[in-house]
């Protein structure tokens, strides 16, 4: 099929996520390799968002493709009540690479279900019902995960599930910036007191916030959250669906701050999106709760053998190619490129940790008014998006910012090539600056 035919039929018979259907303009994608993908007509794109921050190892790695094919030939499906070798091996492997004594895993189809199960486990284990979550967050598109989500994707599904309480983040947008860890923690503790600590089962947070702007917590924040949770018997759920598997230059983002959460959710980089798989990992003590009581969750495709085999192979690629370390080194190059791009008058803030980055744009240097309002668009952001597309750079432009999240296998020249395109694109937004 031609690209136009694919787009026409997809639009006629399928729905695209979170969008007014007439406002979208999907890219037809036919094949992919490494950091690039191609349309059926052969237009090449440098994938500067790893699709949805998910193809961590890069596209089309034969080691993963072959593992999927081999497992499909041997045993393509199994009931979740069966014990399979890929499930056994993946559980053991994840116990090895996740922090502290997180060593038991429940497998899901993706990130939302991982968070859904994490929140339910926290409620069952603590006997409490409230869940704290942050406003600048996304936790998935199912009922509980979407209620925990703080960003506007929640609004259409409200009132959602009972018992979720939102708290403010240390970050308050490009105009107001960051508050200190101490201020953020004092505010959090006040909310915990006001809500009643004995009613709160868990605090769920993205260790490094993803779609809401790559928000890297100030030093001391996560350790402070851990201490507050310990003080009040609240479980800490780290949502590492986007930040995990080397994205930040560590296996998991919590590793940067040496914090061990009680539950850790993952998806995306777990299989590098070659097939769908998510998981919630838990500390031994939490898993022990279910030794003599039923575990209250299940899914037909939980622990799917093909997905587990894909995850094992994708993790092996991260290890064999030393991609976690490589992401850390390339993160330094990205920080350099970002710092250089910051000379543009429209650049209001740049952030990255490893290959997890974002650039925020402003239209006024003095007031730092964002180039597009919260949850809104602006013609300049649309023009920048169109420029990237014309130049063959794929990334997501959202509100007043855009992402810099390539596959972890990107080389330094490729990274500089992408930054050179961004450099030229920013001339468009510079023209709007007062
Ligand atoms: C931090 C975070 N949590 C959860 C999810 C939901 O994952 P999924 O779309 O696999 O359900 C996402 C998806 O983007 C995410 O970024």
CA distance 85 to 23: 46
pLDDT at 39: 98
Between the CA of residue 265 and those of 42, 53, 380, what are the distances in Å?
37, 15, 36
**Tens of pLDDT along 163-219?**
999 999 999 999 999 999 999 999 999 999 999 999 999 999 999 999 999 999 999
Average pLDDT value over all residues in the chain: 98
Task: Determine whether the shortest distance from the Cβ of 206 to ligand 1 is under 6 A.
Answer: yes
CA distance 168 to 360: 20
pLDDT at 21: 97
Task: Determine whether the shortest distance from the Cβ of 210 to ligand 1 is under 6 A.
Answer: yes
Task: Determine whether the shortest distance from the Cβ of 138 to ligand 1 is under 6 A.
Answer: yes
For residue 405, what are its two tokens?
């999240």
**Tens of pLDDT along 30-83?**
999 999 999 999 999 999 999 999 999 999 999 999 999 999 999 999 999 999
Q: Ligand 1: distance of its center to the CA of 111 in Å?
A: 5
Q: Ligand 1: distance of its center to the CA of 46 in Å?
A: 23
Mutate to test the pocket of ligand 1, among 213, 241, 273 (most ligand atoms within 8 A of CB): 241
C-alpha distance across the termini of the chain, in Å: 46
Mean pLDDT, residues 281-308: 98
- For residue 238, the Cα-to-chain-centroid distance in whole angstroms is 11
For residue 34, what are its two tokens?
């490494």
Question: How many CA atoms lie within 13 Å of 270's alpha carbon, on the beta-carbon side?
Answer: 32
**Tens of pLDDT along 290-301?**
999 999 999 999
Q: What are residue 245's phi and psi, to 5 degrees?
A: 60, 50
Task: Determine whether the shortest distance from the Cβ of 348 to ligand 1 is under 6 A.
Answer: no
Task: Determine whether the shortest distance from the Cβ of 112 to ligand 1 is under 6 A.
Answer: yes
- Please name the residue ranges forming H helices in 342-411: 379-390
CA distance 328 to 36: 21
Task: Determine whether the shortest distance from the Cβ of 242 to ligand 1 is under 6 A.
Answer: yes
**Tens of pLDDT along 90-132?**
999 999 999 999 999 999 999 999 999 999 999 999 999 999 9
Mean pLDDT, residues 295-313: 98
CA distance 203 to 148: 10
pLDDT at 376: 96
**Tens of pLDDT along 151-164?**
999 999 999 999 99
**Tens of pLDDT along 136-151?**
999 999 999 999 999 9
pLDDT at 109: 98
């Amino acid at each position: 099929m031609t690209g136009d035919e694919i787009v026409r039929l997809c639009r006629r018979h399928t729905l695209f996520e979170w969008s007014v259907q007439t406002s979208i303009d999907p890219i037809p994608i036919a094949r992919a390799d490494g950091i690039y993908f191609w349309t059926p007509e052969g237009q090449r794109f440098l994938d500067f968002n790893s699709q949805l921050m998910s193809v961590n190892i890069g596209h089309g790695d034969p080691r993963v493709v072959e593992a999927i094919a081999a497992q499909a030939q041997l045993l393509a499906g199994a009931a979740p009540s069966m014990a399979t070798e890929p499930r056994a091996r993946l559980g053991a492997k994840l116990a090895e690479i996740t922090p502290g004594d997180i060593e038991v895993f429940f497998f899901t189809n993706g990130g939302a279900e991982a968070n859904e199960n994490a929140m339910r486990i926290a409620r069952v284990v603590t006997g409490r019902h409230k869940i704290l979550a942050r406003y600048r967050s996304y936790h998935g598109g199912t009922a509980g995960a979407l209620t925990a989500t703080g960003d506007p994707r929640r609004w259409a599904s409200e009132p959602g599930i009972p018992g979720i309480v939102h708290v403010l983040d240390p970050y308050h947008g490009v105009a107001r910036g960051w508050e200190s860890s101490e201020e953020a923690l004092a505010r959090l503790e006040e909310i915990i007191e006001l809500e009643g600590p004995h009613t709160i089962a868990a605090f769920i947070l993205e260790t490094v916030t993803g779609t809401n702007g790559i928000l890297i917590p100030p030093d001391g924040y996560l350790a402070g959250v851990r201490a507050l949770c310990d003080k009040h018997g609240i479980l800490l759920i780290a949502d590492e669906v986007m930040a995990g598997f080397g994205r930040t230059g560590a296996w998991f983002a919590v590793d940067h701050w040496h914090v061990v959460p009680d539950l850790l959710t993952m998806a995306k980089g777990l299989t590098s999106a070659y097939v769908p798989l998510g998981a919630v990992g838990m500390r031994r003590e939490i898993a022990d709760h279910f030794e003599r009581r039923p575990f209250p969750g299940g899914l037909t495709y939980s622990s799917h053998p093909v997905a587990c085999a894909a995850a094992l192979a994708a993790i092996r690629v991260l290890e064999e190619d030393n991609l976690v370390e490589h992401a850390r080194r390339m993160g330094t190059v990205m920080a350099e490129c970002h710092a250089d791009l910051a000379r543009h008058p429209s650049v209001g803030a740049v952030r990255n940790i490893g290959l997890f980055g974002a650039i925020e744009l402003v239209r006024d240097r003095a007031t730092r008014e964002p180039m597009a309002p919260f949850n809104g668009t602006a013609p300049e952001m649309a023009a920048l998006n169109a420029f990237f597309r014309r130049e063959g750079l794929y990334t997501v432009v959202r509100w007043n910012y855009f992402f810099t999240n390539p596959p972890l296998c990107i080389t330094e020249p490729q990274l500089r090539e992408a930054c050179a395109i961004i450099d030229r694109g920013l001339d468009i937004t510079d023209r709007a600056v007062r």
